[in-house]
Structure 1
Amino acid sequence: MAANTGQAVNIFSEIGKLKQVIVHRPGRELENLVPDYLDRLLFDDIPFLEAAQKEHDEFAKILEDNGVEVLYLERLVTEALDAADVKEQFVDEWLAETGLAKGATYEAIRQDLLNYDDTFEMVLKTMEGYTKTEVEVSDSVSLADSISGDYPFLVDPMPNLYFTRDPFATIGNGVSINHMYAETRNRETLYGKYIFDFHPNFKDTETYYKRDAETRIEGGDILILSEKTLAIGISQRTDARSIETLAKNIFGTTSYDEVLAFSIAENRKFMHLDTVFTMVDYDKFTIHPEIEGDLQVFSVTKDGEGVKIEEKVDTLENILAEALEIEKVELIRCGGGDPVIAAREQWNDGSNTLTIAPGVVIVYNRNTVTNKLLREAGITVHEFDGSELVRGRGGPRCMSMPVYRENI
């Protein structure tokens, strides 16, 4: 565990020295991606699993070599289920969210999962999903079990799980268990629920948002600017109403007194705020220049039992400098501002940097122009190959859920 401050979760910035992080090593769920159903599972292409795992291992090694304790999502869930003896409860809740109708197939899958002696292997199987060819039911006992179709899965895989940033988000000493944009990803938040309800190290963590909320929010849209201010994207994946709900839940019970809501385009290439905007040092940010022209920023602050909304009419640099209480900030533009290079490198997550200490970041090596600009700005850059991982449209920040940073 990280240094003891009495709190399992301690995230009051984007840049404090990272001590502990949750990741998920890509597994067999990627091998259940098929071309006809990529859209359904939010993928554009099919990564080669063996290469993706090597790339992810390289990412984890950079973290460990820089003093970061790497926690694996699949191990944390296993430890939570075993510690609280809630394996059967988990299976039943997982099944209830698969969309399967109760019947012979439903019961066959339930029994298969409960027959696993190794809880870790069972957890991996819930992530992998079930194809029609691997479940045999001798006698159909319901109409639902009798229906056949072309779709090859009984239970969809969860190939997006290696983007651990999104299903839940650590904020201060608490966590937001998110309601996701797409049904295929909303099941991922069940793992976060069990970690923060039952894991011996995390079960007492305060929760600021519930996965059964009516409106969507995802962790890639939540940036921790300081101990007072959050930045949250209004995006394809995060609803403005969710930001108000989260703000009401944290104001008055935490050190946070302002949320800056960034309204960005609602499309796949600008999926989350952190795909176009990340903090890399005390006074430096990466940004995709394409969002600057139409960007609206709103200040959300406490107003009695509710919140007050005011548009911030100023340059982005001035808005950020004011929020951070510093004289000025520097925006490092993806691709150097060149429209072709910027578009290409943003698509390959050139703006999705993971900061592991002030002025120290981890990035994909493929974004050569942006990485050179980061170095020229005095940033220490650790690169790794992301040729397969990037096919899921996410970078190093997307693949990491910090749970402990040193305060700055």
Structure 2
Amino acid sequence: MMQLHIVDETSPLKAVILGTAESCGPTPTPEEAYDPKSLEHILAGTYPNETDMTKEMEAFYNVFKKYGVKVFRPSVLKDCNQIFSRDIAFVIGDKLFHANILPDREREFEAIDHVLNKMDPSKVIRPPEEVHIEGGDVMPWKEYIFIGTYTGEDYPDFITARTNKAAVEYIKSQFPNKKVKSFELRKSNTNAKENALHLDCCFQPVGKDKAILHKNGFLVEEEYQWLVDYFGKENIFEITKDEMYNMFSNVFSISPEVIVSEKSFTRLNNWLREQGFTVEEIPYSEIAKQEGLLRCSTLPLIRA
């Protein structure tokens, strides 16, 4: 029986589900786009193809292998985009939560059945229907659980609003001993540079006490300021609007010392090395066109 264990974003990774780009289907129509960045590339004729994305994911897989991480992959569904495994489920503590995602993505969860079967069924939890939540909005960090949300009256109008108020209350009820801290995110269906799809699109902790952060992703300045005060200004890498759009905050930690990053993120990668991190650079710019990057493609199961 697999013992799930995730209490933060950076402890040494032991087991992970990495998505797959195999058989990801034809380029979607503009009407089928779930986010403004994908839409932009569909309309421009630059939407990524399966061959390129499969190569990028293999590069990521090889880094996991290098560090001895146990990697599971979803069963391949025909013509289905299964790259972003972070959307379909997430682990906090020793529980795996089945995200209530966009209904057309339900099959993606069924494609990880072979991994779920290794877990204690009582630890695999489906939140009630009114709880909307995706893994990109959820970050356990020591005594905290950070959650990105959007609670505006116009929540239903945003296909980019993925985690609601009910989700924040639900996670509080599941983890009474943790401090659940929520952050209102800026949403736009049409402008990718004004849209923080998930919390990990504008914030991510790295190492033991540092963070990557983008101010404009947060709707409430005090909430952004709370993170600056918590990590300390000198420990924060503040990214620009263009860098947020290119997903600079969506790198992935294999351990407190090792970070997987996109090879074109020169400014960030230099800063990380200056801080003493080992940076494993891989090509991931095609997948980035779908408003998701390295963290989005992973579903960590066990960290030491």
Please give the range of the TM-score, normalised by the shorter of the 2 chains.
Answer: 0.7 to 0.9
Match of 2:17 among 12, 19, 22: 22
How far is the alpha carbon of 1:40 from its aligned partner?
5.6
How far is the alpha carbon of 1:207 from its aligned partner?
3.4
Amino acid across the alignment from 2:54: Q
Larger RCO (CA within 8 A; separation ≥ 6): 2
SS at match of 1:53: helix
Larger radius of gyration: 1
Does residue 139 of structure 2 align to residue 214 of structure 1?
Answer: no
* Partner deviation per Cα, 1:18-51 (whole Å, 9 max, x = no partner): 111101221112x322444442688333211111
Tell me which residue corresponds to 1:310: none
Distance in 2 of aligned mates of 1:205 and 1:368: 44
Tell me which residue corresponds to 1:318: 229
8 Å CA contact 1:209–1:246 kept in 2: the answer is no
Does residue 168 of structure 2 align to residue 243 of structure 1?
Answer: yes
Equivalent residue runs for 1:278-293 within 5 Å: 278-291=204-217
Match of 1:177 among 93, 98, 103: 98
Does residue 58 of structure 2 align to residue 64 of structure 1?
Answer: no
SS at match of 2:119: coil
- Aligned-pair identity (%): 24
Amino acid across the alignment from 1:55: E
8 Å CA contact 1:288–1:333 kept in 2: the answer is yes
SS at match of 2:297: coil
* Partner deviation per Cα, 1:233-252 (whole Å, 9 max, x = no partner): 1142100111101211232x
Tell me which residue corresponds to 2:33: 39
Amino acid across the alignment from 1:229: Y
SS at match of 1:158: coil
SS at match of 1:188: helix
Question: Could you state the TM-score of these two structures normalised by the residue count of structure 2?
Answer: 0.84
* Partner deviation per Cα, 1:284-334 (whole Å, 9 max, x = no partner): 01112323673454xxxxxxxxxxxxxxx964233457xxxxxx8711112
- The number of equivalent residue pairs is 282
Which deviates more, 287-296 or 274-283? Answer: 287-296
Does residue 204 of structure 2 align to residue 204 of structure 1?
Answer: no
Amino acid across the alignment from 1:237: R
SS at match of 1:73: coil
Distance in 1 of aligned mates of 2:60 and 2:297: 9
Does residue 188 of structure 2 align to residue 188 of structure 1?
Answer: no
8 Å CA contact 1:348–1:390 kept in 2: the answer is yes
SS at match of 1:262: strand
Equivalent residue runs for 1:119-268 within 5 Å: 124=76, 127-128=77-78, 157-159=79-81, 161-180=82-101, 182-191=102-111, 195-196=115-116, 199=117, 201-204=118-121, 206-210=123-127, 213-226=129-142, 228-235=143-150, 236-251=161-176, 256-267=177-188
Amino acid across the alignment from 1:220: G
Distance in 1 of aligned mates of 2:269 and 2:22: 29
RMSD after superposition: 2.5
SS at match of 1:165: helix
Does residue 74 of structure 2 align to residue 73 of structure 1?
Answer: yes
Distance in 1 of aligned mates of 2:222 and 2:109: 29
How far is the alpha carbon of 1:370 from its aligned partner?
1.8
Question: Could you state the TM-score of these two structures normalised by the residue count of structure 1?
Answer: 0.64
Does residue 254 of structure 2 align to residue 356 of structure 1?
Answer: yes
Does residue 278 of structure 2 align to residue 380 of structure 1?
Answer: yes
Change (3 A) 1:283 1:329: farther
SS at match of 1:370: helix
SS at match of 1:233: strand
Distance in 2 of aligned mates of 1:379 and 1:241: 37
Distance in 2 of aligned mates of 1:247 and 1:192: 26
Distance in 1 of aligned mates of 2:203 and 2:299: 17
Runs of 4+ in 1 over 6 A off after TM superposition: none
Change (3 A) 1:186 1:163: same
How far is the alpha carbon of 1:353 from its aligned partner?
1.4
Amino acid across the alignment from 1:234: T
Match of 1:13 among 3, 8, 17: 8
